[in-house]
Amino acid sequence: MADIQEVQYIWKNGEIIPWAEATTHVLSHSLHYGSGVFEGIRCYENPETHKSYVFRLQDHMERLVRSCKIAMIDLPYTADELVRATVDIIKANGLKKCYIRPLVYRGYGVMGVDPTGAPTDVIIAVWPWDAYLGAEALAKGIKVGVSSWRQRSNNAIPPAVKATASYMNSLLAKLEAKAHGYGEAIMLNEAGLVCEGTGENLFVVRNGVISTPPLSDGLLEGITRDSVLQIATDMFEDGEIDACPLEESLTRTDLYVADEVFMTGSAAELTPVASVDERQVGSGSRGPVTEALQARFFDAVYGNAERYADWLTEVE
């Protein structure tokens, strides 16, 4: 975790404005009722060519549009327009690599659970942000614990919407994990099956299978998750790894007996898990399948894997 590093500008409602002017009234609807949706995206700088690429920007913005539809928020921009705005704000701030936070929220004008009449505000903020779970975690892994907090069900806050309200649940699980000395939490769903982390999807490697819970078990349709599934499929079919990817429900004990466990997300990237509930996973560090997938993933985001070139939006 790290404090936000301020830059010069933020994109808000179609304009690039100074960072300090990107303010919101304290009576804005979303501040009181959690009625906002957002994305987390990364822009990477290739260390050799120094070209900058946003990873799966179009897919993220299309998911944002879907979230608005589910949440019944009137979004006044298309995914294509938001893609262009993202490139513009990165360039305006002169950044070669950064974290990107688009947010759509209901602004000031009405109060009460019914949001009818509240205006829609849209922002895209960018700032430097290194490894979310720590640089060492990418190699050594992190300690995680299964949370006492359950993930929301499909018919509570639908997991297909990346909503600000959903993250109260994640916040409670994260604070509990921190209090117990863990770097991250894993939440089960209401049926007691493994769901996801507080901001990450989850993968388990065991006996030649790379398993990840299906979307029907109540997890976010992660874009990094989808990327890793595709990479794993390609590498297995090409004979580069000997583990086949599979979507299947997992129990808590599947985590304890796994050969490898890793978490994926735009912020977390591809982070190995060293232990679960004080039970060491494999060697207690990054395993061979995780390492191979991690290497190919970073090849993709840095523009060094032609096979995945269509996942990248270059910032020129």
Report the catalytic residues.
162
Helices (H), the chain: 29-33, 57-71, 79-92, 137-140, 167-179, 223-237, 252-256, 288-301
Reference 199, options 226, 179, 222; nearest CA is 222
Query: Exposed, middle or buried: residue 251 (CB in 10 Å: 0-12, 13-18, 19+)?
Result: exposed
CA angle 281, 212, 61 (to 5 degrees): 120
The backbone torsions φ and ψ at residue 57, rounded to the nearest 5 degrees and listed phi first, read -60, -45
CB-based contacts of 119, cutoff 8 Å, min separation 6: 106, 107, 108, 109
The Cα 175–Cα 96 span in angstroms is 32
Answer whether 252's CB lies under 8 Å from 195's CB.
Answer: no
The Cα 305–Cα 280 span in angstroms is 33
